[in-house]
Structure 1
Amino acid sequence: MTELALFDLDHTLIPFDSSQEWGRYMMQQDMAPEGFAARLDQFQEDYVAGTLDMDAYLRYFAAPLANYSRTELDQWHERFMDAVVRPQITAEARQLVQQHLDAGHLCGIVTATIDFVTRPIAREFGVKHLLAITLETANGQEDGAYTGGWVGIPTFREGKVTRSEMWLQDMGLNWDSFAAIHFYSDSMNDLPLLRHASHPVATNPDARLKVLAEQEGWPIIQLF
């Protein structure tokens, strides 16, 4: 039996919220309406407080992407990776992921950020399995233009557990298929999936998760 290693992304493997940073980048490129980044900051505050309206957040975040072709968006995102993401990935974060990959563990990133923003970041870590919020495309084509909507179950709170189970089932696996299940997260929003892990790790934890981890005796690590 192999082991399963799951990672949250924002503030866990990277020291920032990728949707917020992408929003600021869109503002810099005149791709989004005035005040877009500030509104994303408010959504982030709601997320930390556990009061995020995911439906409202997704509608707001996805809308500007429908104004551009996938080719344009991919070109902008590659520049975003060079300017914002790659310089901030720490050696410690890369080493953490790599040690699980080298051990032959099944690795996945499970994030409540959209797939367009996070898929290139997952590739940067060498992780081919990404569970993220899936944006809707025209006619359901994988490379089609974005419509401003999304599909499926958002990978948020209990949705991270559900989507992980669906992903494993697609491979003919379940939680019992693994000798150990690791999950790294910074947020109390991820408590449902942390409870499913045999080895939960509070990673750069927020204040509430740090208190819980100390009570539960979970490891606490800092990657940045």
Structure 2
Amino acid sequence: MALAIFDLDETLIGGDCASLWSEQMGRLGWVDPESFMRKNDELMAAYSAGELAMEDYMAFALEPIAGRTPEEIEHLVEPWVEDVIEPIIYSDACTIIAKHRADGDRILVISASATFLVEAIAARIGIDEVLGIDPHVINGVYSGATVGVLTYREGKITRLMEWLDAEGENLEGASFYSDSRNDLPLLKKVDYPHVVNPDAVLKVEAEQAGWPVHSWK
């Protein structure tokens, strides 16, 4: 048995769940849709260019849920996943996940999105083990801050190594699938890196390294 690790946004789904959730918060009336999405898009452009300080994005994205309970957010996220996310799940991703399961591999999603989003989306795909960015909870409500190392760039490796130690696992024979240049540190660490619908920088890196390049729909 080996690990099959998947990024989430633009890898398992044809979109970015954090941005789609930002749109949902606008529909809920928690933020001004126009100004909030303008700032969201500026930050996501920095992400795509590999220039984002993830702490900045998370402070922005979590501010609207500050003071709300995890139970309230979970109640709202579940129907949102069904309505917005399920139609953009890549069928090719589901096929590859099923193959890994048939081979006896352990499936893990590791994402630079908030854990409450990652868990709900992964569950819809049938995956129950995830690592995401953990929002801070104090006195039963979200504070708007995060806790622990953020699962972004090298932080994905840090959190994954902690998880491996806790689970008694290792990276021998592990695969990792991602679309983003931001995941190059982890792609270079596993035995079987795979790139999915890669951005321009990652595509060049993959071609030079001879990594498999997938076009998922």
**TM-score interval (norm. to shorter):** over 0.9
Shift, 1:86, TM fit: 0.6
Shift, 1:198, TM fit: 0.8
Match of 1:8 in 2: 7
Equivalent residues of 1:111, 1:156 under 8 A apart? yes
* TM-score for both structures, normalised by structure 2: 0.95
Distance 1:123 1:79 in 2: 13
Identity over the aligned pairs, expressed in percent?
Answer: 37
Match of 2:98 in 1: 98
Distance 1:195 1:79 in 2: 36
User: Map of 1:1-224 to 2, 5 A cutoff?
Assistant: 2-34=1-33, 35-139=35-139, 144-175=140-171, 178=172, 180-224=173-217
Shift, 1:56, TM fit: 1.2
My pick for the range that moved more, 5-14 or 101-110, is 101-110
Distance 2:28 2:96 in 1: 33
Q: Give the AA of the match of 1:57.
A: Y
Shift, 1:90, TM fit: 2.6
Question: SS at 2:174's partner residue?
Answer: strand
Which structure 1 residue ranges, 5 or more long, are not aligned? none
Shift, 1:174, TM fit: 2.8
Distance 1:174 1:74 in 2: 32
Shift, 1:71, TM fit: 3.1
* TM-score for both structures, normalised by structure 1: 0.92
Equivalent residues of 1:62, 1:148 under 8 A apart? yes
My pick for the range that moved more, 31-40 or 5-14, is 31-40
Equivalent residues of 1:97, 1:125 under 8 A apart? no
Question: SS at 1:110's partner residue?
Answer: strand
Shift, 1:59, TM fit: 0.8
Distance 1:157 1:167 in 2: 16
Shift, 1:205, TM fit: 0.5
Shift, 1:4, TM fit: 1.1
Distance 2:165 2:80 in 1: 34
Task: Please report the RMSD computed on the Cα atoms of aligned residues, expressed in angstroms.
Answer: 1.3
My pick for the range that moved more, 68-77 or 106-115, is 68-77
Distance 1:19 1:154 in 2: 15
Question: SS at 2:66's partner residue?
Answer: helix
